[in-house]
Copies of this chain bind each other. A is one copy, B any other.
């Protein structure tokens, strides 16, 4: 029976992974669901439920083996290999993203190895060492040397049109930096870099400057 793992669970796993790598660095060899959850304020039952999607890691009452659980999460999340990424767009935002390659992306396992633009005036320029290619050539490029992940950093007006071209060429994961929600067929995953959500976690602190619990 195929069991679909909900996105909400997948989004929590990197937190568990980071917690585990810290425990491993501290020399801890076995850890309980309670201990994993403590710093994250997640209940032990929630940890066990989330991890149970991926098989049986721990033995009842004996805790999880830190090394094995870390490695399993690495494999599950794809953190144990490198990922090549194409950048679509070569304007201001795209150039800033490309400049993150050495400092942010590469240490996390991502390499921006190809840059595209659909504007002929920009094709042939250089962005962070990559020559800008013509997006019209993407089908041929993907046949020669496929890349699965695209970062979309173009004006919103062309976002859907370019997304369709990427999907058509075989891209199956898109990180959408534009202001437009793009639609893709089933099997193509999109993540939106969302400043509104980030702002919404800031306003709690502004709405509760003195921490309301102090007086309850």
A positions within 8 Å CB-CB of B: 1-11, 13-15, 40-43, 45-46, 49-50, 53-55, 75-79, 81, 83, 85, 91-93, 95-97, 99-100, 103-105, 108-110, 148-149, 151, 156, 172-173, 175, 177, 179, 189, 191, 193, 195-208, 211-214, 216
Contact = CB atoms under 8 A, between A and B. Distances in A.
A9 B103 contact: no
- Number of this chain's copies in the assembly equals 2
Contact of A149 (B8, B156, B206): B206
25 contacts: A2-B211, A3-B211, A4-B213, A8-B40, A13-B204, A14-B200, A45-B45, A46-B46, A53-B213, A76-B207, A76-B212, A78-B206, A78-B208, A79-B200, A79-B203, A85-B199, A92-B93, A93-B96, A99-B156, A110-B199, A172-B205, A173-B202, A175-B199, A191-B202, A193-B195
Nearest to A14: B200
Contacts of A177: 195
